[in-house]
Amino acid sequence: MKFDIIDPKEQARKKKKKKKQDDKKFFMILGLLLLVLILLAIYYVSIDSNSNNVAPEPPKVIQRSNLKIVNEYSNERPIAVMIDNNVGNNSQAGLQDSYINYEMIVEGGLTRIMAIYKDKEVSLIGPVRSSRHYFLDYAMEHDAVYAHYGWSPQAERDIKNLDINNINGMNDPTPFSRDTSIKAPHNVFTSSTRLRNYFSNKDYEEETANWKVLNYSYAEVDLGTDIQEGALESQTSDAIKANKVSMTYSNSQIRSYTFDENNNYYLRYMNNNPHLDKETNQQLNYKNIIIMVVNNKTIDNAGRQELETTGSGPGYYITNGYAVPITWSKDSRSSKTLYTYNNDEEIRVNDGNTFIQIVPENSNIVIE
């Protein structure tokens, strides 16, 4: 049998050689790490040095609007809310804080209001009611999110076909609540904060640059003074005094305004009774009134209406105690309505809240 004899000296020599090789590898790795750290330090020092030579960006300038009624530099998306008008003259909240209101006829000779909100927190809005399809034509021109509680068959069809960003309380009542002291269906209320929080969670766009419809003026538009000075002679040569304004929607529905000369705005009446805010009990007032005359017809057995919102027609612009004839025109359902003087120039609207009265062709309009 053969045995391998291990030489102790040879074994020690091999161990010493291996240790030298391991030490060499260690110092090589350590050297590479030090080199990497040195290069990184040089790189970051160079970036810092270069950044110090670059001028800092100027602070962002927050533009503030010269208008009081809305912030013209804000692209906060408007909200359009359907408001019940088959209630008493002191049952509605939020109509003083909307910057534009639209009133149109519905079935039974009654009317409904659509209020537009932007750049303002409104704690109580309502009572909220169901949609009618022709109101969509004016919600679209503001690029507004459309809030309602239910819909007519025609409105349901158009909201889906036109892909309207909407909030329907019948499908989800989350942003709405009922006042149990008031009889349904006239008891649904909401707020601007609740509506905005809701539609932000639905991934609707929260801003739009396409919100502006009216041509607001920084300077006061005084049609009477303009006539006397000849500044707007071509536009306002047909202007008349407008201390009292009234119009009919049906035999049972009359809307009217009286001019408050001390405050330079119009006080609103419903069926000859002062129209009062539900919360403050103060009479509603508006700086501008726009009257649009449109054709309408009954389209079903329930008495629902069709309004010709496109094309063109006559009307009036009323502010500061004077009224001037105008023409309205609208190319398509989603396009913006254009309001022009008799020389085809766009009207200048006073900085203030506006009530747009869209009345039937047979309306009895009295301005005196």
Q: Is the predicted pLDDT of residue 11 greater than 60, yes or no? A: no
Q: Alpha-carbon distance 254 to 269, whole Å? A: 8
**Residue 184 falls within a domain, yes or no?**
yes
Question: How does DSSP assign 154-202, residue by residue?
Answer: HHHHHHHHTT--EEETTT--TT-EE-TTS-TTS-EEB-HHHHHHHHHHT
Could you tell me which of 137, 170, 138 has the C-alpha nearest to residue 151? 170
**Residue 208 falls within a domain, yes or no?**
yes
**Residue 27 falls within a domain, yes or no?**
no
**Residue 200 falls within a domain, yes or no?**
yes
Q: Alpha-carbon distance 331 to 350, whole Å? A: 25
Per residue in 255-308, pLDDT (tens digit) is 999 999 999 999 999 999 999 999 999 999 999 999 999 999 999 999 999 999
**Residue 178 falls within a domain, yes or no?**
yes
CB 119 within 8 A of CB 76: yes
**Residue 206 falls within a domain, yes or no?**
yes
Tokens of 238: 């047909």
* N-to-C CA span, the chain: 137
**Residue 42 falls within a domain, yes or no?**
no
Could you tell me which of 316, 273, 288 has the C-alpha nearest to residue 99? 288
Tokens of 312: 């063109």
Residue 131's domain comprises 79-367
Confidence of residue 8 (pLDDT cuts 50, 70, 90): low
Side-chain half-sphere CA neighbours of 302 within 13 A: 9
CATH code for the domain in which residue 154 is found: 3.50.90.10
**Residue 10 falls within a domain, yes or no?**
no
Q: How many domains does the chain have?
A: 1
Per residue in 145-201, pLDDT (tens digit) is 999 999 999 999 999 999 999 999 999 999 999 999 999 999 999 999 999 999 999
